[in-house]
A and B are shown apart, each in its own frame.
Chain A
């Protein structure tokens, strides 16, 4: 039962029956609210409503124009100006002629119209026209009801002339509680229900005998706007946790890198197309980053000279870039951790971070994306080990039936690509590229151990995982508050 209904019913319980004015005064509710409650309760047979029919007159459109002057008044006005007489044939408005005659304002004789004395007085403004005064009285609204009963004949004339209309209105005289209403109230606990709970009610213990008024649970409520974490953070954490579950240690490295760690250490030839300006962000300040690990520098030089049979230039290796992949972090850690005595091999490492491509930014391309990279450093690691790890890892991320196929990366041999078949689109979707880090590289980094490696794009994975209701990788980075508030959950 709505709060308004309950209030009304509770009042009527004492009063039995009450008029609108009384209710308005004692309920503290507006007339519309009372009427709504009464109608609603009547629908439930809890109250009966006694109505009175009232009649009201309202002016018609024609009546409103005639407020300024009736046609018969206009007629005698014209006659008055014309010297008090004129020809019947010259008068177009027959109605005005007949009313002027009925009022005794004119006489007609042999086609000639003449103003009478009374007519002259009215035309000269010396007398008043009762019918019009009645119309004016009705139009003001006030006392319309009285006029209706006082000057019945006049009103009827106005009705006949189509100047006023009578409208009937049903008005509530009183509202009375029914037996059913009393029972209903009884069932609710006698009407002494608690609305808003307050400190007083709680402390006094009055709630123990009162009971709580139920609320309309489907009523409109104000919206709450949640503050939320960014979906990319949520997704990266989701991926990180899978790694941590598999016993991987998280590492990180700088995004501002020398070409040495981003390219050369990974056996990427110095004239490789990805090292051109159009793919990689080179920096103008700082232009170069020094390579402090001189031992690694010399070994990498040898690796390139022997492998690519080209002159290797230290100057190019020093060029500062924004890293193009997180494999640069892996390179650092292969160097740092693959040849120690006290590490527990196999050592599992991963990193997640921003990578950069010199792209023309549009609806499909971003220049900064996130990547993840995993490596396992160990003594007797095989391609079969990598395949097992990838199947487990992507299985945890929600991709079943991951398959593998050959691929190529300059820094792995053998190389592979993990993919799955997307039945909805009838297409194979690539998940990751990886392989065994080339011996040339591990050797240059100072170890004979084997390194398994793989990596991929966070955003691509996010799209393939169909989380957050994402339609494009652009959407989360617009940071539109409306989208961030309303976006879907991470559900894989």
Chain B
């Protein structure tokens, strides 16, 4: 989600008061993040980059209120190309595609330039995946020499020089990447060593280091009346969409758009080519999706409100999607717009027919029952995260880690997270520490999932662990508690065997053995373990396997 702010006065001058905006924006599907007397901030979902644009929002409000009725020819460009971009073969490996447009008679006064820059920046950050997939450059057309541009890629970053936007001195490409803020933010798109530096040049000079930063020479100001816009990227569909979207925006604002010819090695293209496109929508399907009898309403009117051109065609309706709607893939997206236009609040809720018995998950119910049993023997429940680290899970417990037995996390933002827990006891020890100042005895348990690896496959098990900390805690206490739990679980042929587990005091530690399987361990926690967890009183603990491996139905 991107948050975009506009000044209310800019809408007011176009006939939309603050009160009207508060009512209209949610109705058109645009979430209002915040609104003051001066400003409105909207939350734009990633499917609607057209609404990052002031003009885009205005256009939607205009169609929704009927102020303007969409028509199919609205964005047809009749002007002839006024510029030529030659694409060098070197760009193929780094950033193969470019589109461009020339805008004349543009008015960038007031907030318009600010909005335009914010729009293109956010567009390239979201839809353009932080400029990796798509980037947009705005240039003052007056500062471009001639009408023949070259889109190339330089092997070394040292040969060519330019003055980057907002800089005072000449820099090489590699220096611009290193020492400008944009360079540090977007330099990553170029890749590592041996990279090529994509650039745009006119007949005399570098216009931009792409997709990093433009040249100071073509700086756009509020007074600029003619623009050249470059759009570059790794996917032709994406840059064509962007070029069309931008063209529509400029045209709606009253400027004139001229196309640009792009000469690839294998043929020439003219961009942009904004045009309404037909999407087939069955009215019956739309009605069945929404549960609304659209046929009884003015479907054409509903479509127009959302910017679509629609026409009756025999007994059916034809829908034409405006060129700035890059998110509309097929009929489902149109149907959603019809729903928004109709108003979600106007859809009459209808119960789902047919009755099926509810059914609870067995394992969850087993855990619930067991938790209640544990409360009964005086233990309070804890729920801890499955995320932990080697120090807590192994080292503090004086246990050895073996890397092929547990699931580890590749790149965590938090140092304390590096693996999935293999046992429940460590977190309970942390809980005892957290509860240090509470009245003793401290008795806690957890029933939960632990994770491991077996033959490189993840394995999920259910364990129960319990701890008791107080001045007279001893082996007998925990043995007695485990005795009762084993009776509860009705585990057969269980016996205690002397065991060595470094977490416990030697000679005061037992394993629980059922047949050939070790299903648990219990004992007096080793003083060094207590020290590592910061505990001061004798503590006993146990951990038992309840379900050895969960087999999901999926």
Which A residues lie at the B interface, using CB under 8 A?
223, 225-230, 232-233, 237, 240, 243-256, 271, 273, 277-278, 281-287, 289, 307, 309-310, 320, 322, 329, 332-333, 335-336, 344-348, 352, 354, 356, 358-361, 366-368, 376, 378, 380-385, 387-389, 391-392, 403-408, 413-416, 436, 438-439, 450, 452, 476-482, 484-485
Supply 21 A–B pairs (Cβ within 8 Å), ascending by A.
Answer: A227-B374, A227-B375, A229-B371, A250-B358, A250-B359, A250-B364, A251-B361, A256-B407, A256-B460, A346-B352, A346-B353, A346-B354, A381-B352, A385-B352, A408-B48, A450-B289, A452-B352, A477-B384, A478-B431, A481-B431, A485-B380
Extra inter-chain contacts (14) besides given A284-B408, A405-B26, A450-B289, CB under 8 Å: A228-B375, A248-B358, A250-B359, A255-B460, A286-B458, A309-B235, A360-B413, A367-B417, A381-B352, A382-B292, A382-B350, A388-B352, A415-B336, A477-B384
- Contact present for B237 and A309 (CB under 8 Å): yes
- Contact present for B409 and A481 (CB under 8 Å): no
Interface flag for B368 (CB, 8 Å): yes
Interface flag for B55 (CB, 8 Å): no
- Contact present for B387 and A405 (CB under 8 Å): no
- Contact present for A358 and B368 (CB under 8 Å): no
Q: How far is the CA of A369 from the CA of B444 in the complex (A)?
A: 21
Q: How far is the CA of A223 from the CA of B46 in the complex (A)?
A: 56
Which B residues lie at the A interface, using CB under 8 A?
26, 29, 31, 45-48, 126, 129, 132-133, 235, 237, 288-292, 329-330, 332-333, 335-336, 339-340, 344-345, 347-361, 363-364, 368, 371-372, 374-387, 403-404, 406-414, 416-417, 420, 427, 431-432, 434-435, 437-439, 442-444, 449, 451, 453, 456-458, 460, 550, 552-554
Complex contacts, B371 vs chain A, CB 8 Å: 229-230, 233
- Contact present for A285 and B347 (CB under 8 Å): no
- Contact present for B335 and A414 (CB under 8 Å): yes
Query: Which residue of chain A is the closest to B435 with respect to CB atoms?
Result: A481
Query: Which residue of chain B is the closest to A478 with respect to CB atoms?
Result: B434
Partner pick for A253 among B432, B439, B554, CB 8 A cutoff: B554
- Contact present for B387 and A391 (CB under 8 Å): no
Partner pick for A384 among B31, B47, B292, B356, CB 8 A cutoff: B292
Complex contacts, A391 vs chain B, CB 8 Å: 349
- Contact present for A247 and B361 (CB under 8 Å): no
- Contact present for A345 and B345 (CB under 8 Å): no
- Contact present for A281 and B458 (CB under 8 Å): no
- Contact present for A366 and B351 (CB under 8 Å): no
Q: How far is the CA of A113 from the CA of B553 in the complex (A)?
A: 119
- Contact present for A361 and B416 (CB under 8 Å): yes
- Contact present for B291 and A383 (CB under 8 Å): yes
- Contact present for B356 and A247 (CB under 8 Å): yes
Q: How far is the CA of A317 from the CA of B372 in the complex (A)?
A: 41
- Contact present for B439 and A229 (CB under 8 Å): no
Distance between A24 CB and nearest chain B CB, rounded to angstroms: 36
Distance between A484 CB and nearest chain B CB, rounded to angstroms: 5
Distance between B207 CB and nearest chain A CB, rounded to angstroms: 27
Complex contacts, A367 vs chain B, CB 8 Å: 385, 387, 412, 414, 417
Complex contacts, B434 vs chain A, CB 8 Å: 478-481
Given A244-B358, A414-B335, the answer on whether A384 and B350 have CB atoms closer than 8 Å is yes
- Contact present for A408 and B383 (CB under 8 Å): no
- Contact present for B356 and A358 (CB under 8 Å): no
- Contact present for A245 and B358 (CB under 8 Å): yes
- Contact present for A329 and B554 (CB under 8 Å): yes
Q: Which of A225, A226, A244 has the most CB of B within 10 A?
A: A225
Complex contacts, A405 vs chain B, CB 8 Å: 26, 29, 31, 344
- Contact present for B385 and A368 (CB under 8 Å): yes
Complex contacts, B437 vs chain A, CB 8 Å: 482
- Contact present for A356 and B358 (CB under 8 Å): no
Q: How far is the CA of A329 from the CA of B553 in the complex (A)?
A: 10
Given A227-B379, A479-B435, the answer on whether A249 and B442 have CB atoms closer than 8 Å is no
Q: How far is the CA of A282 from the CA of B381 in the complex (A)?
A: 30
Query: Which residue of chain B is the closest to A391 with respect to CB atoms?
Result: B349
Partner pick for B288 among A289, A344, A380, A480, CB 8 A cutoff: A380
Partner pick for A237 among B47, B344, B356, B368, CB 8 A cutoff: B368
Q: How far is the CA of A366 from the CA of B335 in the complex (A)?
A: 37
- Contact present for A388 and B411 (CB under 8 Å): no
Distance between A200 CB and nearest chain B CB, rounded to angstroms: 31
Q: Which 5 A-B pairs have the closest CB atoms?
A: A384-B291, A382-B291, A408-B45, A414-B336, A481-B435
Query: Which residue of chain A is the closest to B347 with respect to CB atoms?
Result: A384
Complex contacts, A250 vs chain B, CB 8 Å: 358-361, 364
Complex contacts, B378 vs chain A, CB 8 Å: 227
- Contact present for B289 and A283 (CB under 8 Å): no
Complex contacts, B443 vs chain A, CB 8 Å: 227
Query: Which residue of chain B is the closest to A452 with respect to CB atoms?
Result: B352
Q: How far is the CA of A227 from the CA of B438 in the complex (A)?
A: 13
Q: How far is the CA of A436 from the CA of B352 in the complex (A)?
A: 14
- Contact present for A281 and B409 (CB under 8 Å): yes
Q: How far is the CA of A378 from the CA of B288 in the complex (A)?
A: 12
Q: Which of B290, B330, B554 has the most CB of A within 10 A?
A: B554
Q: How far is the CA of A421 from the CA of B46 in the complex (A)?
A: 25
Distance between A402 CB and nearest chain B CB, rounded to angstroms: 10
Partner pick for B332 among A273, A414, A481, CB 8 A cutoff: A414
Query: Which residue of chain A is the closest to B375 with respect to CB atoms?
Result: A227
Partner pick for A228 among B335, B356, B381, B413, CB 8 A cutoff: B381
Q: How far is the CA of A285 from the CA of B379 in the complex (A)?
A: 35
Partner pick for A284 among B385, B410, B457, CB 8 A cutoff: B410
Complex contacts, A249 vs chain B, CB 8 Å: 356-359
Complex contacts, A273 vs chain B, CB 8 Å: 126, 129
Distance between B405 CB and nearest chain A CB, rounded to angstroms: 10
Query: Which residue of chain A is the closest to B430 with respect to CB atoms?
Result: A479
Complex contacts, B26 vs chain A, CB 8 Å: 405
Q: How far is the CA of A335 from the CA of B350 in the complex (A)?
A: 26
Complex contacts, B439 vs chain A, CB 8 Å: 223, 225
Partner pick for A230 among B237, B350, B381, CB 8 A cutoff: B381
Complex contacts, B384 vs chain A, CB 8 Å: 477, 479
Distance between B242 CB and nearest chain A CB, rounded to angstroms: 14
- Contact present for B380 and A227 (CB under 8 Å): yes
Complex contacts, B339 vs chain A, CB 8 Å: 383, 406, 414
Complex contacts, B550 vs chain A, CB 8 Å: 254
Query: Which residue of chain B is the closest to A307 with respect to CB atoms?
Result: B329
- Contact present for B444 and A368 (CB under 8 Å): no
Partner pick for B413 among A253, A309, A358, A376, CB 8 A cutoff: A358
- Contact present for A284 and B382 (CB under 8 Å): no
Partner pick for B354 among A252, A307, A378, CB 8 A cutoff: A378
Query: Which residue of chain B is the closest to A384 with respect to CB atoms?
Result: B291
Q: How far is the CA of A389 from the CA of B352 in the complex (A)?
A: 7
Q: How far is the CA of A225 from the CA of B291 in the complex (A)?
A: 55
Partner pick for A229 among B46, B290, B375, CB 8 A cutoff: B375
Complex contacts, B444 vs chain A, CB 8 Å: 479, 481
- Contact present for A408 and B414 (CB under 8 Å): no
